[in-house]
């Protein structure tokens, strides 16, 4: 009887437990759906930014192909823009070892370096950076000089063996996030003869401590040259650094010697090895492979000639004396071109390096162009298997892509992605990870969150925080395309009612932004009010503008164009500003707008450009700074919108 009594009383408890369990599973599933949607927003916006970098490359490729200098000044200007080392040659800046002339004042309380470096000095450097101390420019240049001396002796593909150490630890992208590097050393141990490390590229950009990360990595590389290895990533490229923040960071931290540091880094980056082999069985490279990846060719090419993969290479492609022979990697060789043999050699090497630095794995078979990133390829399981069999490898380790858990296996566990920058998009957005390989080469993954704040948040709080950040970025993206969205909405609003169905809203937004996002799912967070399943789209666009205009007291249409083009404009400014002074001359400004008008089919006179340059040189010092440069963009767009007849630029669209 006691058993039957227990059975009767426990029945409701079981039902309650089942209901709670069902509710919790649905709750977790909804949170997971929100997390995945948020992740899609961040990744789509990030890759759209990389498309801007590709467009910039195409712009310069166009200039090299079509723009013929009309004067000696324009020829010199183009020469400065396209030269590999875009710094004036002089005795002071040309000597990389000229750090001894830089005095360290007695008041300097930061870390001091002497060479050859000792393990204690490298460890002290980590501690100093943890305490937010800054390394003096003299020691930065000295360390870079010693690092380059070491790097030039290394092969393109490093060989590492587990026979001489307990294990090999492989770390992925750090992107200027010093907390992640310090956490890895704390959790896994500092580098030593028994603890081998491989850092797989993308040390810099986006984060605020890229300089400090480089100094730590180079210091340990010099202390343990056989146990500490670095691969080049796609962000170890001075053209990419102009867009994603590293150039700006260096100049902000080292205002006097920043130019010399950047020039030295440009040379150091191109000497970084391209890949690492562990026990001849595990290939570690930053991006991926293609169906034409040739490890023997990669091992032999002159890696230091690949200074930037996002900028036409002057040595091979810019021949100002023969303007009809401009060639770029993106166009086929022409018959009768000078130096076809060298061009073919360069093209082959360029393709090989681009593929291993920029490619991504996909589930589909085959190999096709990576249209999202604009460089490298998408490679399928068959391409991976082909390479593994050809070189008798077990699997590949690559980085290059942020993953929610910090790592991801694909292609039947034959490709492992490792990403070491936790909280990459926002605090709580992702974990970081590294992988340890022992003699059996079985991957052991270690995950972490470097930011302590994430541990105090519930899953719902963490997802809500990240979601809010993603939606804010998406609203900025929508605002930047307000004019295009308005035009698309009007196509659906045939009767000019000012309303469109919410289903048409989703289709119109995707046709303009092309981000591949689930707009119907995002609609409740982006569209606050609607009536009868219809949206008053002009009011919605006005609301978007009010959010952005709250901090900017300028015309909405101009701000829209500024938002859309700011990244490209700042990058172009920094290219023109070859000495990184923060200023360009009025003549450089005039020549730049001449190039822009050539490319964008805008009819603009020299008088109009000169008048514009003088009018925005607010302090009349004969130079234009970055803020004045952006203001000029606003003024030109304003002139276009007003369509006055004073000779200002008028766009003519051609197919």
Residues 584, 441 within the same domain:
no
**What pLDDT was estimated at residue 223?**
97
Which contiguous run of DSSP H or E holds residue 466?
A: helix 459-480
Q: Residue 68 falls within a domain, yes or no? A: no
Whether 490 shows a pLDDT value over 80: the answer reads yes
Q: Residue 247 falls within a domain, yes or no? A: yes
Q: Residue 221 falls within a domain, yes or no? A: yes
Residues 257, 136 within the same domain:
yes
Query: Looking at 273-277, 554-558, 595-599, which range is the least confident one?
Result: 554-558
Residues 445, 585 within the same domain:
no
Residues 450, 565 within the same domain:
no
Taking phi over 0 as left and psi of -120 to 50 as alpha, with beta for the rest, 498 belongs to left
Rounded to the nearest 10 degrees, how much is the dihedral formed by the CA atoms of 41, 43, 44, 48? 140
The reported pTM is 0.79
Q: Residue 69 falls within a domain, yes or no? A: no
Whether 417 shows a pLDDT value over 80: the answer reads yes
Q: Average of pLDDT values for 292-317?
A: 76
Q: Are 168 and 193 in contact (CB under 8 A)?
A: no
Q: Are 361 and 415 in contact (CB under 8 A)?
A: yes
Q: Are 53 and 243 in contact (CB under 8 A)?
A: yes
Query: Looking at 29-43, 420-434, 438-452, 499-513, which range is the least confident one?
Result: 29-43
Domain that holds residue 622: 561-641
Distance CA 158, CA 221 (A): 13
Q: Are 191 and 167 in contact (CB under 8 A)?
A: no
Q: Average of pLDDT values for 437-464?
A: 85
Q: Residue 602 falls within a domain, yes or no? A: yes
Q: Residue 356 falls within a domain, yes or no? A: no
The better pLDDT of the pair 632, 345 is held by 345
Q: Residue 141 falls within a domain, yes or no? A: yes
Asked which of 454, 481, 501 is the last residue of a domain, the reply is 454
**Half-sphere exposure in the Cβ direction for 364 (13 Å, CA):** 6
The better pLDDT of the pair 169, 51 is held by 169
Q: pLDDT tens digits, residue range 563-592?
A: 566 666 677 777 777 666 677 777 777 776
Nearest Cα neighbor of 215 from 139, 279, 160 is: 139
Whether 623 shows a pLDDT value over 80: the answer reads no
**What pLDDT was estimated at residue 138?**
96
- Specify the CATH number for the domain of residue 605: 1.10.238.10
Query: Looking at 46-60, 184-198, 622-636, which range is the least confident one?
Result: 622-636
Distance CA 235, CA 355 (A): 14
Q: How many CB atoms lie within 10 A of CB 534?
A: 17
Asked which of 436, 454, 472 is the last residue of a domain, the reply is 454
Q: Are 226 and 132 in contact (CB under 8 A)?
A: no
> Residue 26 — very low, low, confident or very high, per pLDDT cuts 50/70/90?
confident
**What pLDDT was estimated at residue 95?**
52
Q: pLDDT tens digits, residue range 240-296?
A: 888 888 988 999 999 999 989 999 999 999 999 999 999 999 999 999 999 999 999
Q: Report, as residue numbers or ranges, the catalytic residues.
A: 235
- DSSP 8-state symbol, 230: E
Q: How many domains does the chain have?
A: 2
Exposure b/e, 79-106, CB count within 10 A at least 16 = b: ebbbebebbeeeeebeebeebeebeeee
Q: What is the mean pLDDT of the chain?
A: 80
Q: Residue 166 falls within a domain, yes or no? A: yes
Asked which of 434, 454, 474 is the last residue of a domain, the reply is 454
- Specify the CATH number for the domain of residue 233: 3.60.21.10
Whether 644 shows a pLDDT value over 70: the answer reads no
């Amino acid at each position: 009887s006691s058993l039957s009594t227990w059975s009767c009383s426990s029945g409701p408890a079981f039902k309650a437990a089942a209901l709670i369990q069902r509710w919790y599973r649905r709750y977790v599933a909804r949170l997971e759906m929100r997390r995945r949607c948020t992740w899609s927003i961040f990744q789509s916006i990030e890759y759209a930014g990389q498309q801007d970098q590709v467009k910039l490359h195409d712009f310069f490729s166009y200039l090299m192909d079509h723009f013929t200098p009309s004067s000696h000044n324009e020829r010199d200007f183009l020469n400065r823009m396209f030269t590999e080392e875009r710094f004036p040659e002089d005795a002071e800046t040309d000597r990389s070892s000229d750090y001894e002339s830089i005095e360290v004042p007695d008041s300097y309380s930061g870390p001091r370096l002497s060479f050859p470096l000792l393990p204690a000095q490298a460890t002290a450097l980590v501690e100093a950076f943890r305490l937010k101390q800054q390394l003096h420019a003299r020691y930065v240049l000295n360390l870079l000089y010693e690092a380059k001396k070491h790097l030039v002796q290394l092969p393109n593909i490093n060989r590492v063996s587990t026979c001489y150490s307990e294990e090999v630890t492989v770390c992925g992208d750090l992107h200027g996030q010093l907390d992640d590097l310090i956490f890895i050393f704390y959790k896994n141990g500092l580098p030593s003869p028994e603890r081998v490390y491989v850092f797989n590229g993308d040390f810099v950009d986006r984060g605020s401590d890229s300089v400090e990360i480089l100094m730590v990595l180079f210091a340990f590389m010099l202390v343990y040259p056989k146990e500490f290895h670095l691969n080049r990533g796609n962000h170890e490229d001075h053209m990419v650094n102009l867009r994603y923040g590293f150039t700006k960071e260096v100049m902000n931290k080292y205002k006097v010697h920043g130019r010399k540091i950047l020039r030295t880094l440009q040379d150091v980056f191109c000497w970084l090895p391209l890949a690492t082999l562990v026990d001849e069985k595990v290939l570690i490279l930053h991006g991926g492979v293609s169906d034409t990846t040739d490890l023997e060719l990669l091992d032999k090419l002159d890696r230091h000639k690949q200074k930037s993969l996002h900028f036409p290479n002057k040595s091979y492609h810019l021949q100002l004396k023969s303007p009809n022979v401009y060639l770029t990697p993106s166009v086929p060789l022409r018959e009768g071109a000078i130096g076809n043999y060298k061009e073919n050699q360069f093209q082959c090497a360029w393709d090989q390096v681009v593929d291993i630095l920029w490619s991504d794995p996909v589930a589909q078979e085959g190999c096709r162009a990576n249209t999202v990133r604009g460089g490298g390829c998408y490679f399928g399981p068959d391409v991976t298997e082909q390479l593994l069999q050809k070189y008798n490898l077990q699997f590949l380790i690559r980085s290059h892509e942020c993953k929610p858990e910090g790592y991801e296996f694909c292609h039947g566990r034959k490709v492992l992605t490792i990403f070491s920058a936790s909280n990459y998009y926002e605090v709580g957005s992702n974990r970081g990870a590294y992988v340890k390989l022992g003699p059996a080469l079985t991957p052991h993954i270690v995950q972490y969150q470097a930011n302590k704040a994430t541990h105090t948040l519930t899953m719902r709080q963490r997802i809500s925080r990240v979601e809010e950040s993603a939606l804010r970025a998406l609203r900025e993206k929508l605002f930047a395309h307000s004019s295009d969205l308005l035009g698309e909405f009007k196509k659906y609003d045939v009767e000019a009612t000012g309303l469109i169905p919410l289903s048409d809203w989703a289709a119109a937004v995707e046709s303009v932004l092309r981000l591949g996002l689930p707009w119907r799912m995002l609609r409740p967070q982006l569209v606050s009010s609607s009536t009868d399943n219809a949206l008053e789209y002009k009011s919605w666009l006005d609301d978007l503008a009010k959010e952005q205009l709250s901090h900017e007291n300028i015309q909405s249409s101009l701000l829209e164009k500024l938002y859309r083009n700011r990244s490209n404009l700042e990058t172009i400014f920094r290219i023109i500003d070859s000495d990184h002074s923060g200023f360009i001359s009025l003549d450089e400004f005039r020549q730049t707008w001449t190039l822009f008008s050539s490319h964008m089919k805008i009819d603009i006179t020299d008088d109009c450009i000169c008048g514009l340059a003088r009018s925005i040189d607010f302090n009349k010092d004969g130079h234009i700074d970055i803020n004045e440069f952006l203001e000029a963009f606003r003024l030109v767009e304003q002139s276009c919108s007003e369509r006055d007849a004073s000779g200002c630029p008028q766009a003519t669209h051609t197919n």
